[in-house]
Amino acid sequence: MARRPRLFVPGLFYHVIVRGNQKQKTFLVDQDYQAYLERLAKYRKKYDIVLYAYCLMPNHVHLLLETSGEPLSKFMQGLQQSYTQYFNRAHQRVGHLFQGRYQAIVCEKEAYLLALVRYIHLNPVRAGRARMPEQYEYSGHGVYLKGKATEVLDPAPVLELLGGRGAYRRFVLDGIKEGHKEEYYQVEDQRFLGARGFGEKIKGQAERDKKRIAKKSLGAALKELARELKISPQILMSPDRGWEISRARATVAYTLVRRLGYRVSEVAAYMGRDVATVSSLISRLSNRMESQGQISQKVARLTRIV
C-alpha cells in the first residue's frame, strides 16, 4: 500500500518513532546520546514543539510531542540531519543513519497522553535494558521524577494531571507488567490513534485549514490581528521600534508564522523587514512564552480569530 501524505494541522499530538537504517545502531557511546538530546532541545525550541516524553534506545527513538504552527517535518528534518552529520563525523562514517521515513502517529491527546508517556518511558524495561525505568539514563523518566523542567522537556503538565511526582511514579510502575502494545502501532489509516472517526475529524480539519489559508491573504490576516491588538497595521510596518510596537509586531509575526503557517519570508517582506529580523522576533517571543503563560493565551486567542 502506498504511503499516505503527512497532514499538517497546527497543534497535532504525535507519537514519533525513528529507526536506524537497516536496524543499525544510532547511538554507540554516551556522547552520542548527549549530542542527540542537545539537538532535540535546540530544534524543540526553534519550532515551538512541546515534548511530553522521549526515549533514546540504541537503534531507535521514541518522541511524544505536540506541534505548533510549523509542520512536524521541519522539526524532524532539522533534528535528524543535524544528528546524522554529528554521528558521521564522530564515527568516521558516511551515508544514511536513519530510515528514510520516520513513523508519525497522530494521537487523540485526551485519550492517550498519559498511557503513551508511561509506555515510552517503560521501553527500556520491556527491552531488558533496565529492571526499573529510573535505571535508564536516556529517557524523560528521570526528569519527571525530579519534577523540574529542562531544555528538552517540561514535566509540569503531566505531573499536574496525575497529582505530582509520587503519583507519576506509581502510575508508571503500575504499567511494568504490560508488554508490547501492537495497537499503538497498527493504527487507523496508517497514521491515526484514537476513537472511531478521529482520523476523519483530523483530515477534515486539515482540509478546512488548507482552504482557509488559501483564501485569506497575508494582508487580510495581518489586519485582523492588528485590529484585535488595537493597533494600526501601518504602525506594525513602520520603522517605529518602541517597546509596545515591537512587542505587538513580534506577536503578530509569531502568530502568522508559527500558528497560521505563513512563510517567514512573505511575512518579512510584507512588514518591510528582512528575514533575519523577523526570525529573531519570533525566536525571542517563543523564549518568553515558555515562562509567561499569558503570552501563550494571547497567541491562542489571536489564532482563533483569524
Query: Which domains are assigned to the chain?
Result: 13-204 (3.30.70.1290), 216-305 (1.10.1750.10)
Q: Count CB atoms within 10 A of the CB of residue 131.
A: 11
Cα–Cα distance measured from residue 152 to residue 46, given in angstroms and rounded to the nearest whole number: 12
Given a contact cutoff of 8 angstroms between Cβ atoms, the answer to whether 54 and 140 are in contact is: yes
Query: Rounded to the nearest 5°, which phi and psi values hold at 50?
Result: -100, 120
Render each residue's pLDDT in the chain as its tens digit; 306 residues. 445 556 666 678 899 999 999 889 999 999 999 999 999 999 999 888 999 999 999 999 999 999 877 788 899 999 999 999 999 999 999 889 998 788 888 888 888 899 999 999 999 999 999 999 999 999 999 999 999 999 999 999 999 999 999 999 999 999 998 877 777 666 554 565 654 554 555 555 555 555 555 446 888 888 999 998 998 989 988 988 888 898 999 999 998 888 787 888 889 998 889 888 888 888 888 877 766 767 877 887 887 776
Q: Count CB atoms within 10 A of the CB of residue 196.
A: 7
CA separation, residue 6 to residues 72, 108, 189 (Å): 9, 16, 11
Cell output for 282: 519570533
Amino acid in position 6: R
Is the torsion defined by CA of 130, 135, 141, 144 positive or negative?
positive
**Residue 57: its pLDDT value, please?**
97
**Residue 257: its pLDDT value, please?**
86
**Residue 188: its pLDDT value, please?**
55
Given a contact cutoff of 8 angstroms between Cβ atoms, the answer to whether 69 and 257 are in contact is: yes
**Residue 8: its pLDDT value, please?**
61
Instruction: Please choose, from the candidates 51, 17, 11, 58, the residue with its C-alpha nearest in 3D space to the C-alpha of residue 191.
Output: 17
Quick check: helix, strand or coil at residue 107?
strand
**Residue 214: its pLDDT value, please?**
46
Q: Kindly provide the residue ranges of all beta strands, DSSP E only, lying in 58-111, ordered along the sequence.
A: 60-66, 103-107
Cα–Cα distance measured from residue 169 to residue 241, given in angstroms and rounded to the nearest whole number: 49
DSSP annotation of 62 reads: E
Cα–Cα distance measured from residue 254 to residue 249, given in angstroms and rounded to the nearest whole number: 9
Q: How far does CA 138 lie from the centroid of its chain?
A: 19
**Residue 30: its pLDDT value, please?**
97
First-residue to last-residue Cα distance in the chain: 38
Cα–Cα distance measured from residue 37 to residue 30, given in angstroms and rounded to the nearest whole number: 11
**Residue 208: its pLDDT value, please?**
53
- Residue whose cell numbers read 558516511: 94
Cα–Cα distance measured from residue 289 to residue 300, given in angstroms and rounded to the nearest whole number: 12
Given a contact cutoff of 8 angstroms between Cβ atoms, the answer to whether 23 and 276 are in contact is: no
**Residue 240: its pLDDT value, please?**
85
Q: Are strands 192-193 and 103-107 parallel, antiparallel or unpaired?
A: parallel
